[in-house]
Amino acid sequence: MDLGIKGRRAIVCAGSKGLGRGCAEALAEAGAEIVLNARGVDALAATANDIEARFGVTVIPVAADITTPEGRAAVLDAAGDVDILVNNAGGPPPGVWSDWTREDFIKALDANMLAPIAMMQACLPGMMARGWGRVVNITSQSVRAPIAQLGLSNSARAGLTGFVAGTARQVAHAGVCINNLLPGLHATDRADALDGAVVRAEGITLDEARARRFANIPVGRYGTRAEFGAMCAFLCSTHAGFIVGQNILLDGGATNITI
């Protein structure tokens, strides 16, 4: 399927690894030019070179912390006029509700709510003026079904979801569509870290830890970054102009909800 975005300019945040990289690869395959952001210089350069070589599109790497004003300014300056924005940032650490301080919540809100909102505020006016734009926010399955030990993430991402719900409906008339992708467990560094923690805590093998998690996912496996990226690219396509303000789960059926 031709997604109709060849030559469009896309910002992909936290795009050197994992789900962000999956989104960047899928957009590049569809012909979009990529402004690729991440904090790690070496991994970012390697990913940018690989995507550029494989798909023949321009990839501009910007090493910066997207959760800071300075980092966002660097990415936006490099991007210029933006047609597509993929917001992404690592989630806050797990913990216990009684241990979290005000500073912990502020840090989580800065990274997972206020940073993507700031990026949208910077990009939406230009998209609206040009009559076309797509925004995809990578949030979490915990938006639909909270995960107790991820209370910081639950709080920040729920706030972002509320902002998107109202904003998406205010900009849709100008040809701009904002939606959220809610990932479950995918085969990324995050899943490796979670499984590794179980191995160390319980003295079991990595295969045993993964088998336990797979048992709670109806498809019986982790998702892949390519699957995730394909959904992101579709939401960024010309075919997604009637999809507005939605929260789309990609979790293999793991979130046990009706609607």
Concatenated DSSP letters of 115-183: HHHHHHHHHHHHHHHHT-EEEEEE--GGGTS--GGGHHHHHHHHHHHHHHHHHHHHHGGGTEEEEEEEE
**Residue at 205: amino acid letter:** T
Other Cβ atoms closer than 10 A to 218: 12
Query: In sequence order, which residues have a C-beta less than 8 Å from that of residue 80 and are 6 or more positions away?
Result: 9
pLDDT per residue as tens digits for the range 11-63: 999 999 999 999 999 999 999 999 999 999 999 999 999 999 999 999 999 99
Residue 73 pLDDT level (bands cut at 50, 70, 90): very high
Other Cβ atoms closer than 10 A to 189: 10
- The overall average pLDDT reported for the chain is 95
pLDDT per residue as tens digits for the range 79-91: 999 999 999 998 8
pLDDT greater than 90 at residue 157: yes
Residue 190 pLDDT level (bands cut at 50, 70, 90): confident
Q: Quick check: 160 and 116 in contact, CB under 8 A?
A: yes
What pLDDT sits at residue 189? 86
Other Cβ atoms closer than 10 A to 93: 12
Distance of CA 133 to the CA centre of its chain: 17
